[in-house]
Chains A and B, each alone.
Chain A
Amino acid sequence: MTGNESDQSFIIEVNGLTKRYGQLLAVDGISFKVRRGEFFGFLGPNGAGKTTTVRMLTGVIKADAGNALIMGFGSGSLKAKQITGVIPETANAYGDLSASGNMMLMAKLYGVPSTEAKKRSNDYLHALGLWERSGSLVRTYSKGMKQRLVLAMALISDPEVLFLDEPTSGLDVQSARLMKDLLRDLNARGKTLFLTTHNMDEASQLCDRVAIINKGKIVAIDSPERLRMAISGRNCIEVSFSDSVNPDALMQLHGVNTVEKVGDRYRLYTDSPSELVTTLADYSCTAGVKIVSLNMLAPSLEDAFVALTENEDEHA
């Protein structure tokens, strides 16, 4: 299939992608589409099949069944690889080459003309704070520097799609922030980003949509906000009282699903938070305790992730 035969609004199209390692079904017939210019998150616990999926999409390994198209080109084809940049979980620049050497090697492997490659190399090494050490061997770099270099290497071919496999994993705050800022900037310039992570905050901050994968299957795909909202019963009111209260008494209140003690506060999970506020005010009067603080907490993406993956585990 060529680029013209595919729906132009989708840059990645995955249909029934499956990968088996012996008895283990690592990826179980997953299907999804990523829109052009979208920042797409791929979330899942360790061993869920995230990296295997990325490896199939980037042509490093072959799928046992199903197919994936990148801008209409079969994943793994030269044309698909030519428009793709990859940032793997483990920084894999050549330690015995300098940053500039690694950049120029990538430029040659992607067929970037030498003059353009030098310009892009200089620009990205400057942007990622590596310029001053660009002549040093990469094996002398810190983990953060190596990961930033790998991002620069992926960008030298000016790819349409970037696959990022846990790019900020284990990085210091400064490196992680620098990387996230650059990713946002790339997305703003129209690049499509496919980010695998198990960092909920990161996915929440960066992604337009996320897919949650567990045990090789996709359990949900939606925007982070919608996923949070979809978790009924995970709305939470955090309340603290002037005196100690009996958690069992709180559990008896109308509309409370679960009670969780967090320090001197109680988290009451409910389906109807506004009604519970009134009930808590009544309880405060009848029990003779004052409410010191009361906050409504929306469910986090982490809550959604836990709920969805737990559901999947229960149904398995």
Chain B
Amino acid sequence: MPDASMVWQQVRRSLAIARKDIRIYYSKGPVVIFGILFPVFLFLAFTIGRHLTVDFMIPGFMGMVLFFTATSISPIVVPWEAQARTLERLMSCPVWFETIIMGDILASFVFGIAISLVPIIIGLAMGVTISSPFIFAIAVILAAFCFAALGNIFSIPPTNLPATVNMIAAVVKFPVVFISGIFIPLNELPAWGQAIAYISPLTYFTDMARHSIQSEGHLPVYVDLLALFVFTVLFLTVALVLHRRTMPKRI
């Protein structure tokens, strides 16, 4: 059983891996620009011409930016590193498998939070007021972690081809966006539509953001919070357990 000092040591090493990921994979102009532009254009494509209020649009926009950025690079870091043989280097260092995976998730989490500042600033500039900033902050932090863990799950299949992983990610990511009440309020969805929406973690973030900005959501805040928390724990557990099994197969 690892003691507290050993766990703390591994946390610090995980942070070192996260810093390395941010420097190598995230701090690139094209990555940042794509992280912002892609959700912006996707969102505009579905909202232009519809008479939606800014208060309704900003939570959905936030949700998309956070979801796409936090899941953009994390799926391909492990395959990239396996291809470049740097994964073998990490695996021979005195770190647990979990330390490597947590480092990758943390980098994705930080990137998601940083880029989500863009829609927040846009919203504030357009006169949106955040009536419950504490709930909003918790929602952003929890959702960024949840989506980063989800992104990491996409790289579990032991392929070292980033294109294959991207394809797997796209198959999941786009349907999740469309079923999450971003473009159509949950209240307006039929019962079967709502049932589908509840299987998406993005639904709960968007609902919490609407609570914070519009002061009205479909579900109680504690339900949103609990659901996001459960999804986060689930994704994190799946990522850590399954990567432990598949990572050696990449070498």
CA separation between A153 and B92, bound complex, in Å? 12
Residues on the A chain within 8 Å of B86, using CB? 92-94
- Interface code A62-78, partner B: CB below 8 Å = 1, 0 otherwise? 10000000000000001
Q: Determine how close the nearest CB of chain B comes to the CB of A232; give it in whole angstroms.
A: 41
Of residues B20, B84, B95, B251, which shows the largest number of chain A Cβ atoms within 10 Å of its Cβ?
B20
Residues of chain B from 79 to 96 with CB closer than 8 A to chain A in the complex: 84-86, 88-96
**A61-B248, A108-B12 given as contacts; is B92 within 8 A of A81 (CB)?**
yes
Residue in contact with A105 in the complex, picked from B12, B20, B248, CB distance below 8 Å? B20
A152 at the interface (CB under 8 A from B): no
In the complex the two chains form, what is the Cα distance from A79 to B95 in whole Å?
A: 10
CA distance A257 to B92 in the complex (A): 49
Closest chain B CB from A81 CB (angstroms): 4
CB atoms of B248 and A86 under 8 A apart: no
Q: Determine if A316 is an interface residue (Cβ-Cβ < 8 Å).
A: no
Contact among B13, B24, B92 with A111 in the assembled complex (CB-CB below 8 Å): B13
Within A42-61, which residues are at the interface with B (CB < 8 Å)?
55, 58-61
Docked CA distance A25–B15 (Å): 38
CA distance A111 to B251 in the complex (A): 25
For the complex, count residues of B whose C-beta is within 8 A of A: 23
Q: Would you call A173 an interface residue if the criterion is a C-beta within 8 Å of the partner chain's C-beta atoms?
A: no
Q: Which residue of the partner chain, among B12, B94, B251, contacts A60 with CB atoms under 8 Å?
A: B251
How far apart sit A141 and B206, CA to CA, in the bound complex (Å)?
Answer: 47
A residues near B96, Cβ cutoff 8 Å = 78
Cα A262 to Cα B107 in complex, Å, equals 63
A84 contacts the other chain (Cβ, under 8 Å)?
yes
B183 to nearest A CB, angstroms? 38
Decide yes or no whether A170 CB sits under 8 A from chain B. no
B95 in contact with A92 (CB, 8 Å): no
Whether A109 pairs with B248 at a CB distance below 8 angstroms is: no
Q: B187 an interface residue at 8 Å Cβ cutoff? A: no
Residue from the list A58, A62, A79 in contact with B92, Cβ < 8 A = A58
Residues on A with C-beta less than 8 A from B248 are 60-62
In contact, B89 and A82 (Cβ under 8 angstroms):
no
The answer, yes or no, to whether A101 is at the interface (CB within 8 Å) is yes
Residue in chain A with minimal CB distance to B13: A109
How far is B89's CA from A93's CA once the two chains are assembled, in angstroms?
8
CB distance from A151 to the nearest CB of B (A): 13
Is A97 in the interface zone, CB < 8 Å from B?
yes
A55 to B88, CA, bound (A): 9
Is A105's CB under 8 angstroms from B94's CB?
A: no
Is residue A236 contacting chain B, with contact meaning CB distance below 8 A? no
- Closest Cβ–Cβ distance, residue B238 to chain A (whole Å): 21
Given known pairs A109-B90, A109-B95, the reply for A61 and B251 (CB within 8 Å) is yes
Residue in chain A with minimal CB distance to B248: A61
Q: How far is the CB of A285 from chain B (nearest CB, A)?
A: 64
* CB interface residues, B 228-251, toward A, < 8 Å: 248, 251
Contact yes or no, B95 A97, CB < 8 A: no
Q: Which of B88, B90, B91, B94 has the most CB of A within 10 A?
A: B94
A218 within 8 Å of B by Cβ?
Answer: no
Tell me if B120 is interfacial: C-beta within 8 Å of chain A.
Answer: no
Q: How far is the CA of A19 from the CA of B162 in the complex (A)?
A: 28
Q: How far is the CA of A289 from the CA of B90 in the complex (A)?
A: 66
A101, B13: Cα distance in complex, Å: 15
In this assembly, does B115 line the interface, its C-beta being within 8 Å of a C-beta of chain A? no
Task: Determine whether B9 belongs to the interface, using a CB cutoff of 8 Å to chain A.
Answer: yes
Interchain CA distance A95-B23 in the complex, whole Å: 12
Give per-residue flags for B1-23: 1 if the beta carbon is below 8 A from chain A beta carbons, else 0.
Answer: 00000100100110011001001
Asked if A105 and B16 make an inter-chain contact with CB atoms under 8 angstroms apart, the answer reads yes
Q: In the complex, given contacts A55-B88, A94-B86, A108-B13, what are 19 additional A-B residue pairs having Cβ atoms less than 8 angstroms apart?
A: A55-B251, A60-B91, A78-B6, A78-B94, A79-B94, A81-B95, A88-B85, A88-B89, A92-B85, A93-B89, A94-B84, A96-B23, A96-B24, A97-B24, A105-B16, A109-B13, A111-B9, A111-B13, A153-B89
Residues of A at the B interface (CB closer than 8 Å) are 55, 58-62, 78-79, 81-82, 84, 86, 88, 90, 92-97, 101, 105-106, 108-111, 153
A and B contact pairs by CB, cutoff 8 A, 7 listed: A78-B94, A79-B94, A92-B85, A95-B84, A108-B12, A109-B95, A111-B94
Contacts from B to A (Cβ < 8 Å):
6, 9, 12-13, 16-17, 20, 23-24, 84-86, 88-96, 248, 251
9 tightest A-B contacts by CB? Answer: A108-B16, A92-B85, A81-B94, A82-B94, A109-B93, A86-B92, A96-B24, A58-B92, A92-B89
